[in-house]
Amino acid sequence: MSLNKQNNFKKNTIKNFYQAKLISIKIHQNAPGSFYCGCKIIWKQKKGIPNLYSCGYKIRKNKNRAIRIEWEHVVPAWQFGHKKKCWKTGGRKKCTANQRYKYIESDLHNLQPAIGEINGDRSNFIYGELNNKTSLYGRCNMKIDFQKKIAEPPERARGAIARTYFYMSKKYNIILSQNEKKIFKIWNKNFPVTKWECEREKLIFKIQGNHNNYIYKQCYKQ
């Protein structure tokens, strides 16, 4: 399938981020848990509720967001939107009328179900490793340095993060720093694709019409 046909397929199927979230709920019905922490998720129509006890999650500060599932952009909206004119004049909300931005924002390959508090705390921070930092979320080993604006994800999410960044970078010409390329290459190697990653990729392909080849090709090697 050509890139133009893939794009047209997606545009006709997914109109905006809201619709992408609704579709993502259906895709992740059998997900092994929330993206970073692995909490079991109870799906109720248009919302997901994490079982915080199932993964030993400790609420850091924001209870309202900690008790709900939100859709995390692995590659944050800021990274693919902040250079656009709409963003410069009115931030993310202003870009909702920009077709190119909406297209990237609603890419299902980049959306993961995360505990809302983690989603908010991670913000648009880059991923990295914080060797001397401890987790603020109980047994969920998510580390965030708010001063350095760096988030270190648990090992369970690192491979998927790397493969998502490679996919988004290639598809949308998102520039990665040399440090990002280095760390994601290591994560991709050290944390190979899981059975769920392959299943999720297949489900997204059926709806969106394009593969994340950094996952897809590895699935056939298993």
Tens of pLDDT, residues 41-72: 999 988 999 999 999 999 999 999 999 999 99
Model-level pTM?
Answer: 0.92
What mean pLDDT comes out for the span 177-185?
A: 96
Confidence of residue 12 (pLDDT cuts 50, 70, 90): low
Closest CA to 209 of 197, 217, 199, 201: 201
Predicted local distance difference test score (pLDDT) of residue 50: 98
CB 214 within 8 A of CB 5: no
What mean pLDDT comes out for the span 108-114?
A: 98
What mean pLDDT comes out for the span 144-163?
A: 97
Lowest mean pLDDT among 11-25, 52-66, 135-149: 11-25
**What does pLDDT average to over the chain?**
92
